[in-house]
């Protein structure tokens, strides 16, 4: 009700009016706009306290004024879900790194950078007092903090510091494609100076502390090797006597090494088969310490291993597995090789962590109606229970599209699938304009949710488009043979799989064959460039960070090793397979393009440098086809600044409206 003061004949009075607002119908939900999509917050890096009562996480939200995403810590009561906003710590940058709890659950360590400072340092936040204490004063930036299990001290990584470098940098030009090695340091919480643990003619790329604190398992890469991850090797460093043991000696890229609870075994992820041959799914291997023979787990299971953790006993391993359109949590029994699926549903499990001490899983569950709230799973027989409620009302505020799995058959009989997103206001029986978006990688897959800024499928659906996200051959989650279809020929079946999916949607009376759009970023941009040179059936297209010439990309890009199998060798080796590179390149076919096409790239993209889209744009323009190119200044491989993300959405939506639907679009 409402209370109003009034005057009658000079006397004060009070009138009371019953409230009717609650009885009025709520404002109807509407399709989400590009601005509202960019403004959606994001939750990440959840960390459960050792006592299991509290959780810290990082919440990101847009800052239009500064054209960035600000990150702040939040603390959540696990039982009630009550949120406690953490201090924003004035004088520090708004980027937050993962928080690492102390064993007593009294506080956590994170890395912060003071404004106008050049280096990140480690800080301790005391929850009871609210005090923030600086722990390190390292000459180079501190990262990847890990606590000793007993507490009282911690490790961190930092790039090697050369005290004379600052003076030399005033005169010297740095060598190209050479990275400064990272070293592992140790610091007691009562001390102000850190001590080196691992430093030498190598770079420490990843590490984890043994459960009993006796040793460090880590990855070493040769000094200055940059992104040459095929040179990774796993080592064990014993803290008691400082001895080092090399655990692997091969030519493939191990990742995420972890010791078993009894320190007798270690596990890791590698993209090889049981023979050590390269270009396979991300597989899980287990190996005895001191043995040179790894055991490939799940050799016949079509599953990409995303992450893993040992259970308390060391007899089982929990793992995240990508099976195509979903990522689920599994339990693997090591001795028998039995795989048990622990979660189910049309979702993707992300930001997952397993705490061996209290047996609790923490994860973000992403699905069609949520970019991902945080949930916990405490016991072996319990399901995930949602803790945060950031996105509970998203479906009430906005009309969100329906997402379903669309299964179809390729022209050679191969079973394929993808995601189909229906237009928000689709009338039964009517055909819709279809936007086909192919995933990046190409070693990845399109999955439920797809809240990616380069895809913005809920915005497209709100504009009346259906969206098709095919999982073509060459992607992950469907087994080694499926992913290895690109070995020897990148565009072997992948582009045909995309077209076959579109044909199936047309044949089923869903997609309008006269209103087709193609878009994608990175490998999705490669696919767009391929399809606009292969067919003229698309009425509009958008290519982001796509290749045009494989030879120049191989030489320009920061990664090469994983691309080599597509062509059978490098372009500069003796008797190089140059014919393969030329045949698969797209620039030579730009004269065929009749589809009005937008091109985008980041001005500082080192993965697919801007020259690739510049060449493709110029070729299409020379063909007389409508085209535009936009290079976002300062952006890397993916657009990270919200104004650039919004510009791309609006430009694409206006382009599609002009060439596909004929309906005006107001940015």
pLDDT at 136: 95
pLDDT at 166: 67
Beta bridge partners of 188: 153
Please give the angle made by the CA atoms of 318, 442 and 375, to the nearest 5 degrees: 35
Using CA atoms in the order 445, 447, 453, 457, what is the torsion angle rounded to 10 degrees?
120
Residue 657 domain flag: yes
Of all residues in the chain, the percent with pLDDT exceeding 90 is: 84
- When pLDDT is averaged across residues 570-575 and rounded to a whole number, the result is 96
* Structural domains of the chain, count: 1
Residue 23 has pLDDT above 90, yes or no: no
| Confidence band, pLDDT 50/70/90 cuts, at residue 57 | very high
Cβ(517)–Cβ(539) under 8 Å?
Answer: yes
Residue 428 domain flag: yes
Phi and psi angles of residue 583, each rounded to the nearest 5 degrees, phi first: -60, -35
Using CA atoms in the order 376, 377, 378, 381, what is the torsion angle rounded to 10 degrees?
160
Q: Which residue has the tokens 């340092």?
A: 121
- pLDDT, tens only, 443-474: 999 999 999 999 999 999 999 999 999 999 99
DSSP string, 176-192: TT-PPPEEEEEEETT-S
Residue 29 has pLDDT above 90, yes or no: no
The closest of 67, 33, 31 to 650, measured between CA atoms, is 33
Residue 96 has pLDDT above 90, yes or no: no
Range 262-269 contact pairs with CB under 8 angstroms and sequence separation of 24 or more: 262/314, 263/210, 263/211, 263/212, 263/214, 263/215, 263/289, 264/288, 264/289, 264/314, 265/289, 265/314, 266/217, 266/234, 266/236, 267/308, 267/310, 267/317, 268/234, 269/305, 269/308
Residue 318 to residue 342: CA distance in whole angstroms: 9
More confidently predicted of 379 and 127: 127
Of all residues in the chain, the percent with pLDDT exceeding 70 is: 95
Residue 446 domain flag: yes
pLDDT at 172: 85
pLDDT at 19: 41
DSSP 175: P
Peptide bond into 442 cis (omega under 30): yes
Cβ(597)–Cβ(620) under 8 Å?
Answer: yes
Residue 592 has pLDDT above 70, yes or no: yes
Residue 299 domain flag: no
- CATH at residue 524: 3.40.50.1820
pLDDT at 230: 80
If one counts every other C-beta atom within 10 angstroms of the C-beta of residue 71, the result is: 17
Residue 239 domain flag: no
- pLDDT, tens only, 599-643: 999 999 999 999 999 999 999 999 999 999 999 999 999 999 999
- When pLDDT is averaged across residues 327-336 and rounded to a whole number, the result is 97
Least confident of 17-26, 158-167, 249-258, 338-347: 17-26
Instruction: Count CA atoms within 13 Å of residue 509 on its CB side.
Output: 4
pLDDT at 6: 39
Q: Angle between the 611-622 and 523-534 helix axes, to the nearest 10 degrees? A: 20
Residue 658 has pLDDT above 90, yes or no: yes
The closest of 211, 209, 106 to 156, measured between CA atoms, is 209
Residue 555 domain flag: yes
pLDDT at 403: 97
Please give the angle made by the CA atoms of 215, 49 and 394, to the nearest 5 degrees: 125
Q: Which domain holds residue 624?
A: 398-661
Question: 262: phi > 0 → left, psi -120 to 50 → alpha, else beta; which?
Answer: alpha
Residue 259 to residue 385: CA distance in whole angstroms: 29
Residue 192 to residue 197: CA distance in whole angstroms: 16
Least confident of 199-213, 221-235, 533-547: 221-235
Residue 391 has pLDDT above 90, yes or no: yes
Residues constituting the chain: 667
Question: 198: phi > 0 → left, psi -120 to 50 → alpha, else beta; which?
Answer: beta
Residue 141 domain flag: no
Range 128-134 contact pairs with CB under 8 angstroms and sequence separation of 24 or more: 130/87, 132/87, 132/89
- pLDDT, tens only, 243-275: 999 999 998 889 999 999 999 999 999 999 999
Mean pLDDT of the chain: 92
- Integer CA distances (angstroms), 413 to 56, 408, 497, in order: 49, 9, 11
Return the structure tokens found at 6: 């009034």
Cβ(235)–Cβ(289) under 8 Å?
Answer: no
| Confidence band, pLDDT 50/70/90 cuts, at residue 11 | very low
Return the structure tokens found at 37: 């999509």
Q: Angle between the 494-507 and 523-534 helix axes, to the nearest 10 degrees? A: 70
Residue 623 to residue 397: CA distance in whole angstroms: 45
pLDDT at 634: 95
First to last CA, the chain: 41
If one counts every other C-beta atom within 10 angstroms of the C-beta of residue 83, the result is: 16
572-583 residues labelled b (16+ CB within 10 A) or e (exposed): eeeeebeebbee
Residue 19 domain flag: no
């Amino acid at each position: 009700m409402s209370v109003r003061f009034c005057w009658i004949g000079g006397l004060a009075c009070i009138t009371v009016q019953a409230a009717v607002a609650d009885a009025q119908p709520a404002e109807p939900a509407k399709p989400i706009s590009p601005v509202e999509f960019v403004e959606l917050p994001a939750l990440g890096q959840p960390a459960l306290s050792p006592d299991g009562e509290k959780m810290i996480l990082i919440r990101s939200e847009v800052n239009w004024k500064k054209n960035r995403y600000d990150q702040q810590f939040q603390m959540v009561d696990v039982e009630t879900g009550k949120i406690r906003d953490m201090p924003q710590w004035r004088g520090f940058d708004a980027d937050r790194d993962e928080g690492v709890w102390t064993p007593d659950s009294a506080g956590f360590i994170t890395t912060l950078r003071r404004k106008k400072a050049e280096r990140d340092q480690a800080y301790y936040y005391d929850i009871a007092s609210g005090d923030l204490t600086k722990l390190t004063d390292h000459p180079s930036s501190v990262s990847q903090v890990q606590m000793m299990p007993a507490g009282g001290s911690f490790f961190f990584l930092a790039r090697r510091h050369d005290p004379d470098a600052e003076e030399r940098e005033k005169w010297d030009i740095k060598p190209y494609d050479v990275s400064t090695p990272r070293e592992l340091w140790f610091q007691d919480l009562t001390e102000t100076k850190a001590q080196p643990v691992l430093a030498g003619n190598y770079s420490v790329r990843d590490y984890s502390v043994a459960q009993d604190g006796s040793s460090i398992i880590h990855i070493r890469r040769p000094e200055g090797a940059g992104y040459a991850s095929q040179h990774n090797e796993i080592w064990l460093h014993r803290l008691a006597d400082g001895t080092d043991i090399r655990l692997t000696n091969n030519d493939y890229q191990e990742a995420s090494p972890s010791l078993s609870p009894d320190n007798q075994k270690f596990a890791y992820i590698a993209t090889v088969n049981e023979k050590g041959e390269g270009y396979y799914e991300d597989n899980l291997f287990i190996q005895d310490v001191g043995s040179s023979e790894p055991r490939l787990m799940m050799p016949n299971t079509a599953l990409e291993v995303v992450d893993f953790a040992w259970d308390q006993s060391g007899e089982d391993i929990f793992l995240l597995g990508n099976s195509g359109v979903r990522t689920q949590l599994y339990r693997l029994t090591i001795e028998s090789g039995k795989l048990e699926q622990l979660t189910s549903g049309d979702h993707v499990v992300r930001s997952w962590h397993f705490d061996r001490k209290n047996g609790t899983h923490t994860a973000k569950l992403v699905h069609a109606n949520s970019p991902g709230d945080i949930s916990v799973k405490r016991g072996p027989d319990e399901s995930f229970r949602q803790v945060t409620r950031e996105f509970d009302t998203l479906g009430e505020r906005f009309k969100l599209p329906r997402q379903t799995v669309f299964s179809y058959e390729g022209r050679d009989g191969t079973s394929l699938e993808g995601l189909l997103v229906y237009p928000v206001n689709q009338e039964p029986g009517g055909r819709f304009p279809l936007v086909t978006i192919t995933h990046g990688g190409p070693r990845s897959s399109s999955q439920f949710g797809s809240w990616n800024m380069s895809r913005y499928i809920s915005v497209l659906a709100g504009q009346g488009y259906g969206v098709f996200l095919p999982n073509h051959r060459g992607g992950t989650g469907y087994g080694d043979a499926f992913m290895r279809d690109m070995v020897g020929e990148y565009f072997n079946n992948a582009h045909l799989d995309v077209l076959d999916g579109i044909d199936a949607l047309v044949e089923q009376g869903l997609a309008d064959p006269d209103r087709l759009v193609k878009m994608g970023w990175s490998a999705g941009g490669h696919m767009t460039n391929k399809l606009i040179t292969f067919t003229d059936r698309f009425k509009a297209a958008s290519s982001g960070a796509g290749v045009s010439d494989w030879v120049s990309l191989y030489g320009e890009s920061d990664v090469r090793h994983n691309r080599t199998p597509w062509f059978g060798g490098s372009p500069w080796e003796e008797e190089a397979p140059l014919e393969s590179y030329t045949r698969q390149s797209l620039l030579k076919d730009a004269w065929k393009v009749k589809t009005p096409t937008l091109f985008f790239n980041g001005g500082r993209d080192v993965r697919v440098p801007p020259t690739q889209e510049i060449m493709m744009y110029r070729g299409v323009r020379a063909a007389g086809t409508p085209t535009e190119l936009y290079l976002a200044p300062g952006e890397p491989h993916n657009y990270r600044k919200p104004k650039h993300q919004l510009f791309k959405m609006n430009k694409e939506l206006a382009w599609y409206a002009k060439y596909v639907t004929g309906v005006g679009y107001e940015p």
